[in-house]
Amino acid sequence: MTAGRPRSGRSAAGGGGDVSTGDFSGSESYLTDGDALRLLGNGRLEVAGRLVEASNLTLYCTVTLEGRSAACVYKPVRGERPLWDFPDGTLAAREVAAYEVSAATGWRIVPPTVYRDGPYGPGMCQLWVEPNREVDLVALVRSRNDPALRRMAVYDAVVNNADRKGGHLLPLRDGHIFGVDHGVCFAAEDKLRTVLWQWRGKPLLRESVRVLARLERDLDDGPLGRRLRELLTLREVTATWERVRRLLDTGVHPGPSGDWPAVPWPAI
């Protein structure tokens, strides 16, 4: 993908913790998640270019508020391509819902993402992250020993990610890995499609079980459940809770269902 400043093929933003903007190109010294969300939600959005290989309209922008600026990605609803298996005009809200779940886990899988109005109408706006382009993505997705990647596999099972490609991973120089492009998540039907099947059938780590137990309570009668009901249908929120419950009941990473292609195309 390319943009007005074509330094990277991918975009992201960080969630679930305070983050140094040394990882965020175009940002000033230091942003907490709260700072980033306020900047993204209230700043002046200016389009600088387009990521031309993206399947939906994806614009590289700068956002400025009170003298502070950052690079970001803006995906307006009007630029979403219709899909046969997801309702029209819902992908931006699903990206925001993915951030909300990420923030609730504390794993910082999806960076700060908001739903806002912009030059081409309402859509999602997400902080741009510059990845470590020296990382071999093929080798990364085959790794069995990366704790950040294993957390992402659990997260994808929760949000029912139908498109976890290797190119949607943003490895940073400090070893952290962000994930992006979550517009086709949260379907009520099982659509998990990912390159991260290496832990299928293996017991969940204790940390994951603790996080899932917290998510179950938060989805059932907490702020996360209330927030997701603003972004998704009630059936989709209920299905998310049921996926968390199933993970806790089985205690293992899920495997392919057989009813849906197991790996997205292209895989990277």
Position 4 pLDDT exceeds 50 = no
Rg (CA), the chain: 17
- Taking the alpha carbons at both ends of the chain, their separation in whole angstroms is 13
Range in 61-70, 243-252, 259-268 with the lowest mean pLDDT: 259-268
Cα angle 50, 52, 57; round to 5 = 65
Residues 132, 177: Cα–Cα separation, whole Å: 10
Q: Is the pLDDT of residue 15 over 60?
A: no
Would you state the torsion angle of the CA atoms of residues 151, 152, 155, 160, taken in this order, to the nearest 10 degrees?
A: -150
pTM: 0.89
Cβ distance 111 to 21 under 8 Å? Answer: no
20, pLDDT greater than 50:
no
Per residue in 191-247, pLDDT tens? 999 999 999 999 999 999 999 999 999 999 999 999 999 999 999 999 999 999 999
**pLDDT tens per residue across span 78-100:** 999 999 899 999 999 999 999 99
Find the angle CA(3)-CA(6)-CA(9) to the nearest 5 degrees. 85
Reported as a single tens digit per residue, the pLDDT across 34-60 is: 999 999 999 999 999 998 878 899 999
Encoded tokens for 155: 């997260």
Q: List pLDDT tens digits, range 133-183.
A: 999 999 999 999 999 999 999 999 999 999 999 999 999 999 999 999 999
pLDDT of residue 49: 93
- Give the pLDDT confidence score for residue 5 in this predicted structure: 32
Region class of 35: left (phi > 0), else alpha (psi between -120 and 50), else beta: alpha
The residue-averaged pLDDT of 7-31 equals 39
Confidence check: pLDDT of 25 > 80: no
